Amino acid sequence: MNRIDAGRLRRKTKPWKGMKINLTDGNTIEVDTALVGEDDEPRFFYVKTGWFGTEIAGKEVLMPASIVNEVGEEYRAEVDKETIERFPEWDDAEPITQALIDEVTEHEEEIMHNEKNIENEKNENKEED
């Protein structure tokens, strides 16, 4: 995976603010801000995982936009809320540092690796049946 340069990212709310992302466990999270690259495409989403898109009983985290897919008129991430909450906590008022971006990217790679292993195990179990 190519390293994303934190110095080239900027905050942008439109059109992503308020976008709801459905998770595999039935929870929904809401985007507050996107961090976009020079092409204006989102690289990361700042989300609050608590009640009604707040931090109450949840966390404020930065997650990679690459794990979000548009399906019809809705957005989905093939992970659950617990997985999202393992991404680094961040507040939109804080600076965008290279260490933060690297941490989110590393965590994404771990998640994708684990998801691939789970999928492989499921396929192996189907073949054994």
CATH code where residue 48 lies: 3.90.50.10
User: Running DSSP on this structure, what letter comes out for residue 88?
Assistant: P
From CA 8, how far away is CA 96, in angstroms rounded?
10
Q: Which two tokens stand for residue 129?
A: 């049946």
Q: Buried (b) or exposed (e) across 108-126, using 16+ Cβ within 10 A?
A: beebbeeeeeeeeeeeeee
Give the pLDDT band of residue 50 (cuts 50, 70, 90): confident
Nearest in space to 11 (alpha carbons), one of 59, 46, 39:
46
pLDDT at 102: 96
Structurally, how many domains does the chain consist of?
Answer: 1
Residues in the chain: 129
Give the pLDDT band of residue 114 (cuts 50, 70, 90): confident
Asked whether residue 1 is assigned to any structural domain, the reply reads: no
Residue 116 has pLDDT above 70, yes or no: no
- Tell me the chain's radius of gyration from C-alpha atoms: 15
Structural domain including 18 reads: 8-128
Strand partners, 119: none
Asked whether residue 39 is assigned to any structural domain, the reply reads: yes
Return the residue matching tokens 């109450």. 56
pTM score: 0.81
| AA identity, residue 74 | E
Nearest in space to 90 (alpha carbons), one of 62, 55, 57, 54:
62
Residue 55 has pLDDT above 60, yes or no: no
Asked whether residue 45 is assigned to any structural domain, the reply reads: yes
